[in-house]
Structure 1
């Protein structure tokens, strides 16, 4: 697996795939979908598909693939290498979702929860296989959420494909087991080779399992939280474990605002609910924003109360409403 794209930019997502075997473009194929790293507070989540012709499914089963959670790391690596050797009939593709992408999706103004992100990623990978010419006729998926709801959604999206969504599908269907191995091998490599852009000093790579209830993981989080800037991008800061540490370890942030900067779409991009607020101090903790009224006069940055009425809106840059900023929308100057 070539992770150079992820190493160059681990803020978003990265898609990797094997060459498509020629036979998979000619014969009906079965495809499995699974993920690795859904629960950890550290590192990316990886979704994977694996596919092969129905006529070669017995050959895939002969590799003795199994649920990746029941295999050791060396066993997973060996089986993945074997699938690579059998590239004349087995293909795979991955979508690596960074911690930053996961957390910003979950905490955005328009909420995008982990289940929705997972469903959309799975749909995208199945569509990716179809776009590459794979003749997919059956899809087996390890469920996220209610299997009936998930299956109905996939079946509506791909009406010409027979879709089966089951709990523990990675232990029931070899093609899903193969996908789970691909996903787990990819996540392990991504975690081991993670590029910390923060240039951390005394970086400890003993993360533990990365799961929130792992004592080693909690120790690592406390060691590498920065009081002002929070966690490195390796951390899913939307996880409750990370938020709790921020509440205890991080500093509050104070800044001065005026009425002009509180306007909708104003320089600070603050909520329109704050319109018309008098000058004051706003305190931002990692999870809570609140206002503290201060007496005017000798407080630094406030000055006299009359200065408030003399402020000009030209002194505060006017930015578009954050609805447009979040979506990268700009006014059209020409049609």
Structure 2
């Protein structure tokens, strides 16, 4: 799988797609959606779709596709190759969400949680297929959150399409299994060939599965934590695992504007407003005029 478009700049998200088979533009089609890399603290999350004519479901089933998590890396590569070779009736598309996109979305002022990111990626891929001319009549999705609510949401967004949302859909519907394989192969390639934009020198690629409870992943996180700058963009710094290590091992940095307005107001309220207008006494008890007044050339009435 060629994901060079993402490798060129892995700090941003990227969409990749196969050629749309002509038959998918003229016959009723089914489409499956699944993701890879939702839980890891390292690397991107990849959403994938796979679609084919309803009349070709048995041919897809004959390829022996299965949930990507039950397959070895070599088996996934082989099955993806078969899917790609079936381009006369099978199409696929991917949305690769970079770790940087995930973290900044989850930590920005108007926060966007992982479920929302997942829903948006899936919806965007379905819309991409429709905009590309695929005649969708059936969509099968591995659930994110409550299946009934997600199914209702997608059905309202795409009226006229029969939407089925199920837990473990990747093991129930071959078209979702195919999407799972596409997503997982893309993530495997992205993680294995990751280009570190930061100046880290030669990076140890033995970071395990990327999941927070993996000892190799934990060791890698400790090794590449910069006490001042934190982690390279390969790490989802919004994950609690990364945040806990930064808090415990990183340098404490104080920003002058960290104090919120309410605290500043409380501190300022401790001063009497009358003190700004008090008559000047001796040099030892004269109150320093606040800059609000000096900037506006305002003076105490006693000095006029």
Instruction: Determine if the TM-score, normalized by the shorter chain, exceeds 0.5.
Output: yes
Residue 202 (structure 1) shift: 4.1
What is the match of residue 222 of structure 1?
Answer: 222
Q: Deviations over 1:26-75 (max 9, x none)?
A: 00000000000000000000000000001111110000000001111000
Question: TM-score normalised to the size of structure 2?
Answer: 0.86
**Structure 1, unaligned runs of 5 or more:** 258-267, 280-304, 314-335
What is the match of residue 49 of structure 1?
Answer: 49
Matched residue SS, 2:216: helix
Matched residue SS, 2:16: strand
Residue 269 (structure 1) shift: 9.1
Matched residue SS, 2:165: strand
Cα distance in 2 for residues equivalent to 1:5 and 1:66: 27
Q: Does 1:189 align with 2:171?
A: no
What is the match of residue 104 of structure 2?
Answer: 104
Matched residue SS, 1:47: strand
Matched residue SS, 2:148: helix
Matched residue SS, 2:47: strand
Q: Does 1:309 align with 2:291?
A: yes
Q: Does 1:14 align with 2:10?
A: no
Structure 1's 59 and 249: CA in aligned 2 closer, same or farther, altered over 3 A?
Answer: same
Matched residue SS, 1:253: coil
- Cα RMSD for the two superposed structures: 2.1
Q: Does 1:166 align with 2:148?
A: no
What is the match of residue 64 of structure 2?
Answer: 64
Matched residue SS, 1:160: coil
Cα distance in 2 for residues equivalent to 1:274 and 1:84: 60
Residue 118 (structure 1) shift: 0.5
Question: TM-score normalised to the size of structure 1?
Answer: 0.79
Cα distance in 2 for residues equivalent to 1:94 and 1:271: 41
Cα distance in 1 for residues equivalent to 2:240 and 2:3: 29
Q: Does 1:118 align with 2:122?
A: no
Q: Deviations over 1:251-305 (max 9, x none)?
A: 01134x4xxxxxxxxxx697544555879xxxxxxxxxxxxxxxxxxxxxxxxx9
**Where do 1:269-308 residues align within 5 Å?**
271-273=260-262, 276=265, 306=288
Cα distance in 1 for residues equivalent to 2:84 and 2:157: 30
Cα distance in 2 for residues equivalent to 1:276 and 1:210: 45
**Structure 2, unaligned runs of 5 or more:** 269-286, 296-304
Q: Does 1:91 align with 2:107?
A: no
Structure 1's 276 and 217: CA in aligned 2 closer, same or farther, altered over 3 A?
Answer: same
Structure 1's 188 and 312: CA in aligned 2 closer, same or farther, altered over 3 A?
Answer: farther
Structure 1's 159 and 201: CA in aligned 2 closer, same or farther, altered over 3 A?
Answer: same
Residue 307 (structure 1) shift: 9.2
Q: Deviations over 1:178-232 (max 9, x none)?
A: 0000000000000011110002134111010100000110000010011111000
Q: Does 1:148 align with 2:130?
A: no
Cα distance in 2 for residues equivalent to 1:92 and 1:41: 26
Cα distance in 2 for residues equivalent to 1:133 and 1:170: 25
Matched residue SS, 1:254: coil
